[in-house]
Chain A
Amino acid sequence: MSELLMYLTNGIVIGVINAISAIGVSLIVGIMKVVNFAHGELYIFAGYFSYHLSVSLGVPPLLAMPLSIFLIFLIGIGMERTLIRPTYGDEMYSLIITFVLSIVLQNAALLIFGPYPQKPPNWVTGAMNIFGLYHYGNQRILSFFISIGVLLSIFYLIKRTWFGKSIRAISQDREMAALVGVDHLKVNMLAFGLGAALAGAAGVVLSPIFPVTPSGSSSVSLNAFIVVVLGGMGSLKGCVVGGLILGILENLGAAYISTMYRHIFGFIILILVLVFRPWGLFGQKTQ
């Protein structure tokens, strides 16, 4: 029983981080109809940045974290400005360019950081006894609360601020938004940066628990894509619910069925969604 509870807790912790990563993809898809296939590589880079900032340069871990996310944000803005912007309206080229970019970044990571898994230092040590049922690592508990904090700030940013309003306006109708004075190029650029930063945030929060390697990037991207399709393209709520579902199912599946096939469960979910509810849990049916 306590074993099952522990796997569930694991699923929820990973699920929340899944949600952050997926919102990064969903924001960009919603606003500019671009799927960023280099999402997983940005996550990996963030993990390595955070590792090298704190281990090689001696920056305190809690400062290395936002610093790495900010670096990824800048990389995202650079990507949008140089490679993505010229492809607006041409879905095919944006898919090709971000895929090629993912391969380039993956190889660059291999060249710069080497093939070895790296793990930034834990922020806290020890474990906590949860309701007298089981012990749970403090690092995971802290990661969970930081992720909840990140989630709440994204929701605030998108639902309550002017920037969020412009994002939603552009997702609904780009031309109308431009007509009423939204600078859509600037919003695109910032939204792409934000999407990248969320990949970075997920990478920074999760890398002390699961070390990063250059070859691990495609499964990160894939997880985010599965959550986005499951939740419904462009739906933030969908990302949270989808992220939790995937996190829990993967952890239970890995524990009770097979660890090797952890990623297969996600793909099965993807196919089931496409067969029975292709617009996702919270997506709009009109397509």
Chain B
Amino acid sequence: MGNKKLWISFAFIILALFPPLFLSQYWLHVMIISLFYVMMASSWNLIAGFTGQVSFAHAAFSGMGAYTSGMLTVYLGLPPWLGILIGTGVAALLGFGLGYLCIRMGGIYLSLTTLGFSEILRIIITNEDQWTRGTMGLQVPGFFVEYSKTSYYYLFLIVTILLLIVIYKIIHSEMGLTFRAVLNDEVAASSSGINTVRVRVLAFAISSAMSGLAGGFYGHYLMLITPDVPSLGQMFLVLAMAVIGGMGSFAGPIVGSFVLEILSEYIRVYGEYHVLLFGLIALAMARFAPEGVVGILRKKWRREWA
């Protein structure tokens, strides 16, 4: 990490410590949800933006994390942290299995199968309501004995920062190098000795585990898990955040998550139009500015400084 980048990151982390001092409970809630989306969009970007594979099961895996942990804490009385850990493991295993089956056949198969997985998970959760409480939602215990939005904010902040550090390390490691080699030229990468399938399956499993982790924390924050958590609507929001913010860049999904989550709070006043609006913006971005908001800003700054 360059010195300048390190200082900028530090400045952001210091700034991120203050919101609970002046934000209302409502906006603190919006910040916590934004942090959840940062984890989701950044880990989705790890596979889509860096290895070029589009998974439509990212929300489904977060749902696996949330429901696994939720049910373990409710029915077996496990502490939430252990539930989240197990939920993350379940998401990782499922990700590995789906990835192993599909990725050798190519990206199209992964997209089709993950879409199917999302649908099936929704059907199972809605129908097995003696365990999951179906659309009524499963009430789960919170992470803290005493409910406080401030504690949740700091918890989410710490987990998000740790997750982002891991993602940053992966991108800038040798593994990240092979990710990009696979993305840029698959044939060249495989002929220079990279096992492209193994790299992609691994990336997919890691990314799925991360969404399981994010989902686990999300469930214990909301304390009510509904089939909306693993829904395709949620998947779309995560995808739109990464696409609008900027895929394939580290900062893109972070920016996209905050912007879209905060925007949707304002739009919600007029009704449920935010999905339609974000869809249209995402289409326009994917068509005309595939590098997203971050890409546009970066180009602009470079031009002004050069």
Q: Write the residues of chain A forming the contact surface with B, with a CB cutoff of 8 angstroms.
A: 29, 33, 35, 37, 82-83, 86, 91-93, 95-97, 99-101, 103-104, 107-108, 111, 218-219, 221-222, 225-226, 229, 233, 260-261, 263-264, 266-267, 270-271, 274-275, 278-279, 287
Task: Encode contact with A along B216-237: 1 for CB under 8 Å, 0 otherwise.
Answer: 0000000000000000110010
| Chain A, interface SS category | helix
- For A100, A104, A274, the residue with the greatest tally of chain B CB atoms inside 10 Å of its CB is A100
Asked if residues B127 and A218 are in contact (CB atoms below 8 Å), the reply is no
- Name the contact of B120 in the complex, choosing from A35, A92, A93, A267 (C-beta under 8 A): A267
**Docked complex Cα distance between A82 and B287 (Å):** 9
Residue from A92, A104, A266 in contact with B107 in the complex, judged by beta carbons closer than 8 Å: A92
B interface residues (Cβ-Cβ under 8 A, vs A): 48, 52-54, 56, 101-102, 104-109, 111-113, 115-117, 119-120, 123-124, 127, 232-233, 236, 239-240, 243, 275-276, 279-280, 282-283, 286-287, 290
Contact A222 B115 (CB under 8 A): yes
Closest 3 interchain pairs by CB?
Answer: A104-B279, A95-B54, A107-B276
State A192–B212 Cα separation when bound (angstroms).
37
In the complex formed, the residue of B with least CB distance to A97 is B286
What is the CA–CA distance of A104 and B124 in the complex, to the nearest angstrom? 25
Residues of chain A within 8 A (CB-CB) of B275 are 103, 107
Q: Which residue of B lies closest to A264 (CB)?
A: B120
Whether A33 lies near B286 (C-beta < 8 A) is no
**A104 CA / B278 CA spacing, docked (Å):** 9
Interface pair B279/A100, CB less than 8 Å apart:
yes
Across the interface, A263 reaches (CB within 8 A) one of B119, B240, B243, namely: B119
Name the contact of B115 in the complex, choosing from A100, A104, A225, A278 (C-beta under 8 A).
Answer: A225
A-B contact pairs, 26 of them (CB 8 A): A37-B115, A83-B283, A92-B107, A93-B286, A93-B290, A96-B48, A100-B283, A100-B286, A101-B279, A103-B233, A103-B236, A104-B276, A104-B283, A107-B275, A107-B279, A218-B119, A219-B119, A221-B115, A261-B127, A263-B119, A263-B120, A266-B116, A267-B120, A270-B116, A278-B101, A279-B105
Say which residue of B108, B113, B236 sits within 8 Å of A91 (CB atoms): B108
Residue ID in chain A nearest B290 by CB atoms = A93
Q: Give CA–CA (A100, B290) in the complex, Å.
A: 14
Indicate which residue in B48, B115, B236, B283 contacts A97 across the interface (CB closer than 8 Å): B283
Chain A nearest CB, measured from B263 CB (Å): 16
On chain A, the residues within 8 Å of B105 by CB distance are 274, 278-279, 287
Contact: A99 with B54, CB < 8 Å? yes
Q: Separation in Å of the B7 CB from the closest CB of chain A?
A: 34
Q: Return chain B residues, CB-CB under 8 Å to A264.
A: 120, 123-124
Most buried by B among A107, A219, A263, A271: A107
Nearest-Cβ distance from residue B78 to partner chain A, whole angstroms: 28
Query: Once the chains bind, are B279 and A97 in contact (CB under 8 Å)?
Result: no
A177 to B201, CA, bound (A): 35
Q: Assess the A33–B108 pair: CB atoms within 8 A.
A: yes
- B102 lies within 8 A of A274 (CB): yes
Task: Establish whether residues B54 and A274, one from each chain, have CB atoms under 8 Å apart when the complex forms.
Answer: no
- Given A35-B108, A92-B52, A92-B53, A100:B119 Cβ within 8 A: no
Closest to A221 in B: B115
Contact assessment for A100 and B53 in the assembled complex, using a CB-CB cutoff below 8 Å: no
